[in-house]
A and B are shown apart, each in its own frame.
Chain A
Amino acid sequence: GAVVSQHPSWVICKSGTSVKIECRSLDFQATTMFWYRQFPKQSLMLMATSNEGSKATYEQGVEKDKFLINHASLTLSTLTVTSAHPEDSSFYICSAILAGVTDTQYFGPGTRLTVL
C-alpha cells in the first residue's frame, strides 16, 4: 500500500511554456502533499507544502507565482511550472502523508523536466 504516482515521468518543453505535473496517492487519502526539487547529485529540496482545500505553503526562495500548486482533492496535487526556463530543468518529486500518520512520507517516482 501507500503508493504515490506522478505524471508525466519526463517532459521536455520549450522555454516560456508552462508544464503541469500531477501527483496522485493511489490507495490512500493524503491531506498533505509535498513538492521537492532535486538537482543532479544533490539532495531533495522542499519547495512547498500542499494541503487539501487550502493554499500551499512555499519555502523561502520559491516563487509561488512561478510554481503553482493546486491540491483539489485528497488524492491529487498538481504543480504547474509557469513560463519555464532552462534553469527550471530538474527532477521534481512529490510525497504524500498518510492521513493521521504525520511522520512518514511516501514519495512518487519523480518527474524529469528539461526546458530547452
Chain B
Amino acid sequence: QKEVEQDPGPLSVPEGAIVSLNCTYSNSAFQYFMWYRQYSRKGPELLMYTYSSGNKEDGRFTAQVDKSSKYISLFIRDSQPSDSATYLCAMIESSASKIIFGSGTRLSIRP
C-alpha cells in the first residue's frame, strides 16, 4: 500500500464549477500537508500549506485536513481554464523534511 493515495484522474469540469481534489494517507505521523500545482513540463508550485487538522482558505482555494480519517482535500471555487494542471498532494512528518507526494490528479477546466 502506498503511503499516499491520489486518484490520477483525468478530471474534467466546466468553467465555474467547484472542484474537489482528495488524497488519503496511511502514516499517522504526517503533520504538514501541502497541495502543489504543476503545469505541463514545469516544476511544482506550492498552492496551500496546512499544519495538522483544520481548514485553510486562500482566495478561491480551500484546503481541508481530517487527520482522524487520514483524508485531505483541496477545493477550487469558480474554476477557471487557467486552473487546468496536475495537482499533487504532499505531506511530511513533523520531524523530517522528506516530502511524500501523491501521484497527482490531472484537472481540465472546460471553457
A residues touching B (Cβ–Cβ < 8 Å)? 4, 6, 32, 34, 41-44, 46, 49, 91, 93, 95, 97, 102-110, 112
B17 at the interface (CB under 8 A from A): no
Assess whether A32 is in contact with B103, with CB atoms less than 8 Å apart: no
Q: Number of contacting residues on B, CB 8 A?
A: 20
- Known contacts A102-B97, A103-B32, A104-B49; is-contact A43 B43 (Cβ 8 Å): no
Assess whether B45 is in contact with A107, with CB atoms less than 8 Å apart: yes
* Contact residue among A43, A49, A105, A112 (Cβ-Cβ distance under 8 Å from B103): A43
* Chain A residue with the shortest CB-CB distance to B45: A107
Assess whether A109 is in contact with B97, with CB atoms less than 8 Å apart: no
With A103-B32, A103-B92 given, name 20 new contacts (CB 8 A): A41-B8, A41-B106, A42-B104, A43-B104, A49-B98, A91-B41, A93-B43, A93-B44, A95-B43, A102-B97, A103-B49, A103-B97, A105-B46, A105-B97, A106-B46, A107-B43, A107-B46, A109-B42, A109-B43, A110-B41
Interface majority SS on A: helix, strand, loop or mixed? strand
B residues touching A (Cβ–Cβ < 8 Å)? 8, 32, 36, 41-46, 49, 88, 92, 97-99, 101-104, 106
Assess whether B99 is in contact with A43, with CB atoms less than 8 Å apart: no
Residue of B8, B36, B41 contacting most chain A CB atoms (<10 Å): B41
Q: List 7 A-B contacts (CB under 8 A).
A: A41-B104, A43-B102, A44-B44, A44-B88, A95-B43, A107-B36, A110-B41
Assess whether B97 is in contact with A32, with CB atoms less than 8 Å apart: yes
Closest Cβ–Cβ distance, residue B38 to chain A (whole Å): 9
- Known contacts A32-B97, A46-B99, A49-B98; is-contact A110 B42 (Cβ 8 Å): yes
Q: Contacts of A41 on B, CB cut-off 8 Å? A: 8, 104, 106
Q: Contacts of A6 on B, CB cut-off 8 Å? A: 43
A13 to B109, CA, bound (A): 36
* Chain A residue with the shortest CB-CB distance to B94: A103
